Amino acid sequence: MDAETLQFHAALSDAATRTEAALADWLPPEDTTLGAAMRHAVLSGGKRLRAFLAIESAAIFRVPAAQSLRTAAAVECVHAYSLVHDDLPCMDDDDLRRGQPTVHVKWDEATAVLSGDALQTLAFELLAQPQGSIDPRLAVRLVLRLAQAAGAAGMVGGQAFDIAAETTAVPLDLDSIRTLQSLKTGALFVWSAESGAILGRSDPEPLRAYATALGQAFQIRDDLLDVDGDPEAAGKRLQKDAEQGKATFVSLLGVDGARQKAHELVSAACDALAPYGSAAGNLRGAARFVLTRGN
């Protein structure tokens, strides 16, 4: 590993440790089923790539760490809520997530619905709490943009689109898959990266462009891992896409075409970071990591 890659891994691990410690403080106690389920959903591991993006994009602008820890924790709450609801029997019906039983398996469906609901609420609460000393004008902008990224015109819209696509006879074409992915996973990546520019009172466009390309590369890698990944390392069932006859970047571009496309996207992501020079070293490391990650 080169020095920048090593530094990226240290930064990713540090972001995860700090975000998880903050979340452990900010989540409700586990003395109720609801609290225990929320903690299980959020604190059962994961790479914390979204938290890392929020923390590293803010670091470019020397935003105080107490502020970016809030945005990092908020986006991890939204991500965790979406996974809990996506795993429900009426949606993807997954029993395992990161090698652990999913919330509706460990408890029940009602607890999964409610703990997901309360995690979404917590994300907005974390952005609005005065303790982080985020300027209210910036906090409102973060709330607005997170709501747009997470709601009907973003993540939830993408999930609904995905479900609708499963029931139509014609498989999706490349443009539709790109749109679906940009809503379903891209929107939260983009919010994570732009949150740093919002806190830093800077133009969010370069970071949005970076995260748009990164999110798409991430999804392509996910599709590739579904084809040839190691289920034990992934901690979840694989080859679901092919079983379900689902159109993916891989089914449309082929394995080599998809790998090529991911490389191009990672180059584009790194190019978008040019304005920030060496301050964006860890974000460049993240882009390269997406190409090689094992699960």
- What are the residues binding a copy of itself (CB under 8 A)? 28, 32-35, 38, 81, 85, 88, 90-91, 108-111, 113-114, 116-118, 120-122, 124-125, 127-130, 136-137, 139-141, 143-144, 146-148, 150-153, 156-157, 159-161, 163-164
Interaxial angle between packed helices 281-292 and 205-228, expressed in degrees from 0 to 180 and rounded to the nearest 10: 20
Nearest alpha carbon to residue 52 among 286, 234, 279, 287 = 286
Closest contact distance (angstroms) between CB of 289 and a copy of itself is: 30
What are the tokens at 115? 């703990």
Nearer to a copy of itself, 157 or 171 (CB): 157
Bridge partner residues of 96 (DSSP): 101
Nearer to a copy of itself, 20 or 162 (CB): 162
CB 87 within 8 A of CB 104: yes
Nearer to a copy of itself, 109 or 230 (CB): 109
Question: Which positions ≥6 away from 94 have C-beta within 8 Å?
Answer: 86, 87, 102, 236, 237
Nearer to a copy of itself, 177 or 270 (CB): 177
Nearer to a copy of itself, 61 or 161 (CB): 161
Chain centroid to CA 41: how far?
A: 14
The DSSP call for residue 28 is P
What are the tokens at 173? 């074409």
Closest contact distance (angstroms) between CB of 150 and a copy of itself is: 5
CB 286 within 8 A of CB 52: yes
Closest contact distance (angstroms) between CB of 93 and a copy of itself is: 10
Nearest alpha carbon to residue 57 among 193, 201, 205 = 193
Report in angstroms the alpha-carbon separations of 207 from 22, 31, 120, 200, 265.
Answer: 25, 40, 24, 12, 14
CB 50 within 8 A of CB 12: no
Nearer to a copy of itself, 121 or 260 (CB): 121
Nearer to a copy of itself, 61 or 124 (CB): 124
Closest contact distance (angstroms) between CB of 83 and a copy of itself is: 12
Closest contact distance (angstroms) between CB of 102 and a copy of itself is: 14
Dist. CA 19–CA 26, nearest whole Å: 10
The DSSP call for residue 274 is G
Closest contact distance (angstroms) between CB of 124 and a copy of itself is: 5
Closest contact distance (angstroms) between CB of 114 and a copy of itself is: 5
Nearer to a copy of itself, 130 or 277 (CB): 130
Dist. CA 140–CA 264, nearest whole Å: 35
Closest contact distance (angstroms) between CB of 219 and a copy of itself is: 20
164 residue type, one letter: A
Nearest alpha carbon to residue 9 among 217, 286, 268, 228 = 286
